[in-house]
């Protein structure tokens, strides 16, 4: 049986540390960091993610603002909301929950967020800086994946990694972070011929395609570290990953469960990035000096 990578436990450790740091800021009499979360419409999955983010902020003692806009809000109104938050000295981090309704351009909205408050790391300036190896906000899910791999104690350097999925949010940035750690990285995807032959080469396999059961046990190299980023809802309402856990758990050396793997890490890293934004706002740290999560 594989070792389980407990994302809930690792994320709790991170949140406990963040809580201590925020408590220290409070006891110095300083303003505490504040995260603004904007949600448009009432997509139940998005609502549930946003609730998790606000709850995590509360847990750590961070201030938060939840801004709920109706499904039919105009792009202009959303932009005005973002611009007001950009100019608000009491707001350190801004997150617009994705996806957005079809009448709103995701690109224009992400471009409108100040790069200095872009705690998701989705603004083109942060994306460019990530790829250039310069200080930036590291996107939360990829950052969480790296922390989970590190939690196994296994080195990343020199490993063969296969990332299945090429999204801007997960696949592409996590591949870059792994490359920075001297792994040999392959990005595969839904159109890769003979995907199993590729994934069987992986010492570390990251599944981020968004389709349940894409990775089965026979596609995994025995002893590999398997990180399941998928959050798919089954017809009976349960959450399941991109990896078929039942067949994978006997083959992988380490595996993340769904739920309780990558999901809680994304949230912990968001709070981490918001504290990072706050510290840089006050010049307490130089960009990139925040606990080693620079791209390297």
Residue nearest to ligand GUN (CB): 98
126 interacts with ligand GUN by CB under 6 A: no
DSSP H or E run through 64: strand 63-69
Q: Of these residues, 53, 117, 176, 221, which one is catalytic? A: 53
Q: How many CB atoms lie within 10 A of CB 111?
A: 15
Residue 261 carries which DSSP code? S
Residue 45 to residue 59: CA distance in whole angstroms: 21
Give the number of residues written for the chain.
296
Q: Of these residues, 97, 117, 203, 221, which one is catalytic? A: 97
Residue 152 to residue 52: CA distance in whole angstroms: 25
Minimal distance, residue 87 CB to ligand GUN, in Å: 20
Q: How many residues bind ligand GUN (CB under 6 A)?
A: 9
- 53 has catalytic annotation: yes
Residue 295 and residue 130 in contact, taking contact as beta carbons nearer than 8 Å: yes
Q: Of these residues, 15, 117, 118, 120, which one is catalytic? A: 120
3-state secondary structure of 242: coil
141 interacts with ligand GUN by CB under 6 A: yes
Binding to ligand GUN (CB under 6 A) within 159-198 occurs at 169
The only residue of 39, 85, 113, 140 in contact with ligand GUN, by rule CB under 6 A: 140
32 interacts with ligand GUN by CB under 6 A: no
Binding to ligand GUN (CB under 6 A) within 56-115 occurs at 95-98
204 interacts with ligand GUN by CB under 6 A: no
Minimal distance, residue 15 CB to ligand GUN, in Å: 17
x/- map, 212-251, ligand GUN, by CB under 6 A:
----------------------------------------
Query: Distance from CA of residue 42 to its chain's centroid?
Result: 22
Residue 199 to residue 201: CA distance in whole angstroms: 5
- Those residues whose C-beta lies under 8 Å from the C-beta of residue 137, and which sit 6 or more positions away, are 115, 118, 119, 120, 121, 126, 273, 276, 277
Residue 249 and residue 257 in contact, taking contact as beta carbons nearer than 8 Å: no
Nearer to ligand GUN, 263 or 295 (CB): 263
28: left (phi over 0), alpha (psi -120 to 50) or beta: alpha
Minimal distance, residue 61 CB to ligand GUN, in Å: 22
Q: Is the dihedral of CA 141, 11, 36, 83 positive or negative?
A: negative
Nearer to ligand GUN, 56 or 248 (CB): 56
Looking at the annotation, which residues are catalytic? 53, 97, 120
Binding-site ranges for ligand GUN (CB under 6 A):
95-98, 120, 140-141, 169, 266
């Amino acid at each position: 049986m594989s070792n389980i990578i407990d994302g809930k436990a690792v994320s709790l450790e991170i949140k406990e540390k963040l809580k201590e740091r925020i408590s220290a800021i409070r006891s110095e009499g300083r303003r505490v960091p504040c995260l603004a979360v904007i949600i448009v419409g009432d997509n139940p999955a998005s609502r549930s993610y946003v609730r998790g983010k606000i709850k995590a902020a509360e847990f750590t003692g961070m201030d938060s603002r939840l801004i709920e806009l109706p499904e039919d809000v105009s792009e202009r109104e959303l932009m005005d909301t973002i611009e007001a938050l950009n100019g608000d000295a009491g707001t350190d981090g801004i997150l617009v929950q994705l996806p957005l309704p079809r009448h709103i351009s995701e690109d224009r909205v992400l471009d409108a967020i100040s790069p200095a408050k872009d705690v998701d790391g989705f603004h083109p300036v942060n994306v460019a800086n990530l790829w250039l190896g310069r200080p930036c906000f590291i996107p939360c899910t990829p950052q969480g994946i790296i922390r989970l791999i590190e939690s196994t104690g296994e080195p990343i350097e020199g490993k063969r990694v296969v990332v299945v999925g090429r999204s801007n949010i997960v696949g592409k940035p996590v591949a870059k972070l792994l490359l920075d750690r001297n792994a040999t990285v392959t990005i595969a995807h839904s159109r890769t011929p003979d995907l199993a032959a590729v994934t069987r080469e992986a010492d570390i396999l990251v599944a981020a395609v968004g389709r349940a059961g894409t990775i089965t046990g026979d596609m995994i190299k025995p002893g590999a570290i398997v990180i399941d980023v998928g959050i798919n809802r089954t017809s009976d309402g349960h959450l399941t990953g991109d990896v078929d856990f039942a067949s994978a758990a006997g083959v992988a050396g380490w595996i993340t469960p769904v739920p309780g793997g990558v999901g809680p890490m994304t949230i912990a890293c968001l709070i981490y990035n918001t504290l990072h934004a706050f510290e840089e706002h006050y010049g307490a740290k130089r960009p990139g000096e925040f606990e080693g999560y620079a791209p390297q």
